[in-house]
């Protein structure tokens, strides 16, 4: 074939790709789970995405195209591509550079003709805009703006979490002007040939585009003019008069006109040990609430624009609902208005990376999402995990040849585990490829791609199988409670949230995870155990619901530390006692990192805690059965008490170790699929096991059948719940 013929063939193929009828993308509940539909056809929720970072973000360049093609050839047809306003909104130019957006989409279509594209639109203002509007920018309570040259969009390596010159997320001018540009973007791109392949817009803002407030997680923001103005307006709406404000804040120092943002010391310290009391610290609680609300308003504003402007049905998604591994800075940079955003009618899917907690992320861990998946599913909203763990491969990234062609046996089970966790729970994922900026793809390896193809092939048809939860354990979390905890590292974060969650995944039981506000939405009859985790704030209405609907049917209820210690108006240990129904008292301790003794049916387990809790609590109820004690002085820290129609387990510290949970769940009547400390997850007719050591196991099915299996060392294996047959 001569050169002219080749060129004609190429032009024909490109025209074919772009001549199609514009696609529509939407999320609908199908077979019991939120499902992506492209042109009314259900699709398996597996994406590939090049990085947002410089050196690998443009789809038309050699390395990204190679990897887009790799995933297309293993059956992935959904792609997500990043685009910053900085890339297309130029100083002194009235219109956006839509041609660059077209080129970004076209790069994927050149190597995957029928690709469906979601564009990750970063709405942060360009740096020239920030320079021209410094009164609209973030100011940091813990130090001055960092002096650095601007130009390149920030990424993890060059400054996003620093004290950078950034338009405040409370800037109404930024919101308005960026909104106008988003309208222009959607209007113009949707009319192009390339726009016909766009099925979704992922709306981004803040640190990493993940709607973390500027300064997160290392710094303290925002004391600037825009945020101060917003805060005062927010206070006027809440308090209306100076007297009301001063009564709530217990000071006459401030009025509605002169109120200021709390400084760094006020934000990170607290009056009642590690707990923040509304009686004494309402000013700080108000600020964090206002900061959370302005971010929620931004999200709602931009997502509505997309829904209203794009001329066809289009999926709209955001990063929101991060719960696990949020660096103990949930109030200042996390996502505390999760119920509001989950209910937003302009959002179809939520996304977050999988947990960066070492015990979860590394080989042997569950690789679970940073979000609470089932609360999204309850609302018909799809949850998508961002899988960005290619850096777990042991080979040095600078060694390109070894990275691409050497197979890391420890990484293969991580690939599989990271996909199975969301897919078996009714969600989806995308592979996010930071490797591209080093001239290779993290999954650009025939062995890795073969594993991914197996998952793609199997779950392609799984959308037609009705989804069903297999859980008889319900794990309950709360975001609002973080308003009442120090906004820095405490044992209430890593011990109670991150490590305890890993231990739960290794208990052998099957679990659903929801927020406490969703208790009335679930079928409680399904669950034999309800594990209440960080519910430090509970309203009277929530407590009444728990007393009437959870404390029944022979159910076992787990409580941790000081549940319901505040109702949002006051904080008192007396609010806890009627809830846990086991007597306790406060005590003083000098032990900085306490150790805990637990006696199980077969042995005694000792585990250590990161730090002691203050206030420290011991159980003094002789009618309760002791579960664990502090090793230093034999004070009881966990106990169990049985009532006529329910059982209470109360632990004043984090519960740890899979064996401990396994025994307590068995006593509660929960089904245990696997008696070993492997990660074991069951859902919708499937069960998978992730193991490091491997060996003989007994897989216990609900139908009473026990299947003897041999797990390979370093493996993640999927089985049928009905037969115990290995799938792959």
In angstroms, rounded to a whole number, what is the distance separating the alpha carbons of residues 617 and 585? 6
pLDDT the model gives residue 592: 81
Q: In what helix (H) or strand (E) does residue 540 lie, and over which residues does it extend?
A: helix 540-545
Q: Which helix (H) or strand (E) holds 586?
A: strand 584-587
For residue range 161-178, what is the model confidence (pLDDT) as tens digits?
Answer: 889 899 999 999 999 999
pLDDT for 57: 92
pTM: 0.94
Identify the burial level of 275 via C-beta atoms within 10 angstroms of its C-beta, where 0-12 means exposed, 13-18 middle and 19 or more buried: buried
Work out the pLDDT band at 151, boundaries 50, 70, 90.
Answer: low
For 291-312, write each residue's pLDDT tens digit: 999 999 999 999 999 999 999 9
* Structure token digits, residue 251: 């000071």
The C-alpha atoms of residue 336 and residue 9 are separated, in whole angstroms, by: 54
Q: Three-state SS for 254?
A: coil
CB burial of residue 92 (10 Å; 0-12, 13-18, 19+) = exposed
What is the overall mean pLDDT for the chain? 93
Measured CA distances, 147 to 159, 162, 208, 214, 269 (Å): 11, 11, 20, 16, 29
Under 8 Å between Cβ of 467 and 31: yes
Q: Which of 222-236, 274-288, 375-389, 490-504 has the lowest mean pLDDT?
A: 490-504
pLDDT band at 8 (very low <50, low <70, confident <90, very high): very low
Cα distance between residue 724 and residue 705, in whole Å: 9
What secondary structure, in 3-state letters, does 131-178 show? Answer: HHCHHHECCECCCCCCCCCCCCCCCCCCCCCCCCCCECCCCHHHHHHH
Q: What is the pLDDT of residue 18?
A: 45
Higher pLDDT, 632 or 315: 315
- In the predicted model, what is the mean pLDDT of residues 626-631? 94
Looking at residue 575, its pLDDT comes to: 98
- What are 372's two structure tokens? 């609470």
pLDDT bucket at 53, cuts 50 / 70 / 90: confident
pLDDT, tens digit, 9 for 90 and up, residues 178-206: 999 999 999 999 999 999 999 999 999 99
- Collect all residues with Cβ–Cβ distance below 8 Å to 237 and sequence separation of at least 6: none
pLDDT at 55 (0 to 100)? 83
Task: Tell me what pLDDT residue 149 has.
Answer: 60
- As given in the structure block, the two tokens for residue 389 are 């763990």
Angle among Cα 189, 195, 196 to the nearest 5 degrees reads: 145
What value does the mean pLDDT take over residues 497-508?
A: 96
Contact (CB, 8 A) for 596 and 629:
yes
Q: What pLDDT shows up at residue 113?
A: 95
Is the separation of the CB atoms in 46 and 52 below 8 Å?
A: no
Residues 6+ apart with CB under 8 A from 178: 85, 123, 124, 125, 302
Nearest of 529, 504, 471 to residue 649 by alpha carbon: 529
pLDDT score, position 403: 53
Q: What percent of the chain has pLDDT over 90?
A: 83
Q: Give yes or no for a contact between 205 and 169, defined as CB atoms under 8 angstroms apart.
A: yes
Confidence band, pLDDT 50/70/90 cuts, at residue 12 = very low
* Tokens 């216990």, located at residue: 700
As a whole number of angstroms, the distance between CA 102 and CA 686 comes to 41
H-helix segments, 223-312: 225-239, 242-249, 264-268, 278-309
Q: Which residues of 334-349 are buried (b: 16+ CB within 10 A; e: fewer)?
A: bbbbbbebbebebbbb
Q: How confident is the model at residue 396 (pLDDT cuts 50, 70, 90)?
A: very low
First vs last Cα of the chain: how many Å apart? 43
Which residues, including other chains, have CB under 8 Å from residue 254's CB and lie 6 or more apart?
Answer: 245, 246, 260, 283
Range 677-683 average pLDDT: 96
The position carrying tokens 């002085």 is 633
Provide the angle, in degrees to the nearest 10, between the axes of the packed helices 98-109 and 3-18: 110
Beta-strand runs (E) in 388-501: 428-433, 473-477
Query: Are the C-beta atoms of 683 and 703 separated by less than 8 Å?
Result: no
pLDDT computed for residue 154 by the predictor:
54
Residue 152 pLDDT class (50, 70, 90 cuts): low
pLDDT recorded at residue 612: 82
- Euclidean distance between CA atoms 629 and 647, whole angstroms: 20
Q: What is the pLDDT of residue 15?
A: 47
Which pLDDT value is given to residue 401? 46
Task: Measure the CA–CA gap between 100 and 79, rounded to whole angstroms.
Answer: 17
Give per-residue pLDDT as tens, 539-574. 999 999 999 999 999 999 999 999 999 999 999 999
Q: What is the DSSP string of 609-643?
A: -SS--SSEEEE--TTSEEEEEETTT--EEEEEEE-
Mean pLDDT, rounded, for 341-369 = 96
At 394, is the pLDDT very low, low, confident or very high (cuts 50, 70, 90)?
Answer: low
Query: For 324-339, how does the pLDDT look when each residue is reduced to its tens digit (9 = 90+)?
Result: 999 999 999 999 999 9
Q: Where are the alpha helices (DSSP H) in 478-556?
A: 500-505, 540-545
Between strands 382-387 and 428-433, the pairing is parallel
- Lowest-confidence pick of 10-14, 187-191, 234-238, 432-436: 10-14
Q: Contact, 450 vs 405, CB < 8 A?
A: no
Closest listed residue to residue 679, CA positions, set 715, 728, 629: 715
């Amino acid at each position: 074939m001569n050169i002219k013929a080749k060129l004609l063939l190429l032009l024909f193929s490109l025209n074919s790709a772009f001549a199609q009828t514009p696609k529509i993308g939407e999320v609908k509940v199908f077979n019991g789970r939120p499902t992506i539909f492209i042109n009314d056809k259900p699709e398996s929720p597996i994406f590939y995405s090049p990085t947002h970072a410089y050196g690998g973000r443009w789809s038309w360049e050699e390395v990204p195209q190679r990897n887009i093609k790799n995933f297309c050839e293993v059956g992935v047809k959904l792609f997500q591509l990043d685009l910053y306003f900085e890339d297309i909104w130029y100083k002194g130019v009235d219109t956006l550079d839509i041609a660059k957006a077209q080129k970004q989409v076209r790069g994927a279509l050149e190597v995957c003709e029928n690709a469906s594209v979601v564009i990750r639109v970063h709405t942060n203002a360009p740096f020239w805009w920030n320079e021209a509007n410094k009164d609209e920018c973030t100011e940091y309570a813990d130090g001055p703006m960092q002096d650095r040259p601007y130009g390149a969009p920030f990424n993890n390596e060059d400054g996003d979490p620093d004290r950078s010159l950034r338009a405040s997320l409370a800037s109404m001018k930024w919101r308005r002007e960026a909104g106008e540009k988003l309208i222009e973007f959607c209007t113009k791109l949707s009319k192009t040939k390339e726009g016909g392949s766009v099925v979704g817009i992922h709306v981004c803002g803040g640190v990493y585009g993940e709607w973390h407030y500027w300064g997160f997680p290392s710094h303290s923001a925002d004391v600037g003019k825009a945020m101060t103005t917003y805060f005062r307006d927010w206070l006027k709406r809440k308090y209306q008069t100076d007297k009301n404000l001063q009564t709530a804040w217990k000071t006459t120092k401030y009025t509605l006109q002169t109120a200021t943002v709390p400084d760094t010391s006020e934000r990170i310290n607290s009056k009642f040990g590690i707990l923040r009391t509304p009686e004494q610290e309402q000013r700080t609680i108000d600020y964090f609430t206002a900061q959370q609300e302005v971010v929620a308003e931004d999200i709602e504003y931009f997502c509505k624009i997309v829904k209203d402007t794009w001329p066809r049905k289009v999926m709209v998604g955001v990063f929101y609902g991060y719960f696990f591994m949020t660096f103990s800075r949930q109030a200042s940079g996390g996502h505390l208005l999760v119920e509001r955003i989950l209910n937003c009618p302009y959002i179809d899917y939520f996304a977050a990376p999988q947990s960066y907690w070492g015990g979860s992320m590394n080989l042997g861990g569950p690789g679970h999402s940073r979000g609470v998946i089932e609360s999204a599913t309850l609302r018909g909203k799809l949850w998508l995990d961002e899988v960005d763990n290619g850096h777990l491969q042991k080979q040095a990234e600078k060694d390109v040849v070894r990275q691409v062609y050497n197979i890391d046996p420890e990484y293969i089970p991580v690939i599989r585990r990271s996909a199975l966790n969301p897919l078996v729970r009714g969600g989806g994922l995308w592979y996010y490829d930071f490797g591209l900026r080093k001239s290779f793809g993290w999954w650009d390896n025939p062995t890795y791609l073969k594993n991914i193809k197996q998952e793609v092939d199997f779950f392609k048809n799984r959308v037609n199988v009705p989804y069903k939860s297999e859980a008889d354990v319900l794990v309950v979390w709360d975001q609002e409670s973080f308003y009442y905890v120090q906004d820095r590292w405490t044992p209430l974060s890593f011990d109670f949230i991150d490590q305890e969650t890993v231990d739960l995944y290794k208990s052998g039981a099957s679990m659903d995870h929801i927020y406490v506000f969703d208790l009335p939405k679930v079928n409680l009859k399904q669950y034999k155990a309800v594990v209440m985790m960080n519910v430090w704030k509970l309203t009277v209405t929530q407590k009444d619901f728990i007393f009437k609907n959870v404390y029944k049917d022979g159910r076992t209820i787990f409580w941790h530390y000081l549940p319901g210690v505040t109702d949002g108006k006051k904080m008192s240990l007396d609010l806890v006692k009627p809830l846990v129904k086991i007597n306790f008292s406060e005590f003083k301790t000098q032990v900085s990192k306490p150790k805990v003794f637990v006696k199980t049916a077969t042995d005694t387990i000792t585990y250590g805690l990161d730090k002691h809790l203050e206030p420290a609590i011991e159980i003094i109820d002789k009618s309760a059965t002791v579960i664990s004690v502090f090793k230093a002085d034999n004070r009881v820290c966990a106990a169990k008490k049985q009532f006529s129609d329910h059982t209470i387990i109360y632990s004043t510290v984090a519960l740890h170790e899979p064996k401990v949970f396994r025994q307590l769940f068995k006593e509660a009547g929960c089904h245990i699929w696997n008696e070993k400390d492997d990660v074991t997850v069951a859902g919708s007719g499937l069960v998978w096991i992730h193991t490091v050591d491997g060996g003989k196991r007994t897989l216990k099915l609900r139908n009473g059948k026990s299947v003897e299996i041999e797990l390979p060392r370093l493996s993640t294996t999927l089985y049928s719940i009905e037969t115990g047959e290995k799938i792959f």
